[in-house]
Amino acid sequence: MIKIKNLTKSFGDKKITRGLDLTINDNDFIAIIGRSGEGKSVLLKQMIGLIKPDSGQIIIDGQDVSKLDKKDLQEVYKKCGYVFQFAALLDSLDVFENVGITLLEENVPPKEVRPEVIKRLNSVGLSEDVLYKFPDELSGGMKKRVGLARTLMRSPKILIYDEPTTGLDPITVRLIHELIKKTHESLNATTIVISHDIEVFKYATKVAMLHEGKIIYTGPTENIWECDNPYIYQFIRGLDKGPITSKK
Ligand SMILES: Nc1ncnc2c1ncn2[C@@H]1O[C@H](COP(=O)(O)OP(=O)(O)OP(=O)(O)O)[C@@H](O)[C@H]1O
Ligand SMILES: [Mg+2]
């Protein structure tokens, strides 16, 4: 369903994505891992058309997203829900306005938007008590939930999360992962999670490793601890060196 071929992107003379290939099937729940600054967020932003690649293809449902104009990209946005790193809530808007923003901007009357917003808040484990709170009145975990509730307003078929658990305590990390899994199952969606947090391996069915601008490994998560790819071996154990038992 998502096929990325030979993707490249540089900022100035800094090469970030360097001939990246990745295939993600329908209903996959895939974790993309890689060190800070490797270009994970840049990859996701290219997938949803926020950043234009220099070359290569990103085919989603048979369409090359990298070649679409603004109008056609809107259609892709409807299929893809993107949950930003740091939740990206608008500080000057309350929870109701943040979650309901698309409908409110389309001039749907607030009294019709309200039940839709409450439904999504409930599905991410929040009650309507938070409806009129502003982002700075919410904890980090609540902000991530509100960010997800906003994405769910469009019932996307592809859900992309950028670092959904960064900065949260271990219990909230587990709750957020369970929520991502529940959402994956209930929407029958394809789920892509970018994460530093190896806890995600308990939930994702596949893992892909980004290294030096390419995906250097893809495989089922249940094999991950036996994986002898040196970069995976080091990454999941937090080592800066480790056995190089396989060639790249
Ligand atoms: N719009 C931009 N303009 C210029 N450089 C950028 C832009 N966006 C990202 N970069 C650079 O691209 C590189 C990769 O950034 P990216 O945010 O994708 O890293 P990441 O893998 O998501 O890291 P982290 O795990 O810390 O979130 C960084 O060096 C960053 O400075
Ligand atoms: Mg990032």
pLDDT at 242: 64
Tens of pLDDT, residue by residue over 75-91, are 777 788 887 776 688 99
pLDDT at 248: 46
Ligand 1 centroid, distance to 225 Cα (angstroms): 28
Atom of ligand 1 nearest to the CA of 39: 18
Closest CA to 218 of 83, 24, 57, 87: 24
Ligand 1 centroid, distance to 40 Cα (angstroms): 7
- Structural tokens at position 188: 């029958």
Atom of ligand 1 nearest to the CA of 196: 25
- Structural tokens at position 107: 């001039």
Residue 86: left if φ>0, alpha if ψ -120 to 50, beta else—which one?
left
For a mutational test of ligand 1's pocket, the pick from 8, 11, 160, 211, i.e. the residue with the most ligand atoms closer than 8 A to its C-beta, is 11
Ligand 2 centroid, distance to 109 Cα (angstroms): 36
- Among the ranges given (99-103, 130-134, 228-232), the one the predictor scored with the smallest mean pLDDT: 228-232
- Among the ranges given (37-41, 71-75, 82-86, 159-163), the one the predictor scored with the smallest mean pLDDT: 82-86
Ligand 2 centroid, distance to 194 Cα (angstroms): 8
The DSSP letter of residue 161 is E
Ligand 1 centroid, distance to 11 Cα (angstroms): 9
| In the predicted structure, residue 232 carries a pLDDT above the cut 60 | yes
Work out the number of other CB atoms within 10 angstroms of the CB of residue 2: 21
DSSP string, 50-75: SS--SEEEEEETTEEGGG--HHHHHH
* 112/63: higher pLDDT: 112
The residues placing their C-beta within 5 Å of ligand 2, an ion, are 40-41
- Structural tokens at position 96: 């109701």
- Structural tokens at position 176: 């957020």
Structural domains present in the chain: 2-237 (3.40.50.300)
**pTM for this one?**
0.88
Closest CA to 194 of 228, 166, 214: 166
3-state secondary structure of 114: helix
Pocket of ligand 1 (CB under 6 A): 11, 16, 34, 36-42, 85, 163
CB-count burial class (<10 Å; 0-12, 13-18, 19+) for 9: buried
User: Whose Cα sits closest to atom 29 in ligand 1?
Assistant: 37
The DSSP letter of residue 128 is G
C-alpha torsion angle, residues 71, 119, 175, 83 (rounded to 10): 10
pLDDT at 86: 66
- Among the ranges given (42-51, 65-74, 120-129, 172-181), the one the predictor scored with the smallest mean pLDDT: 65-74
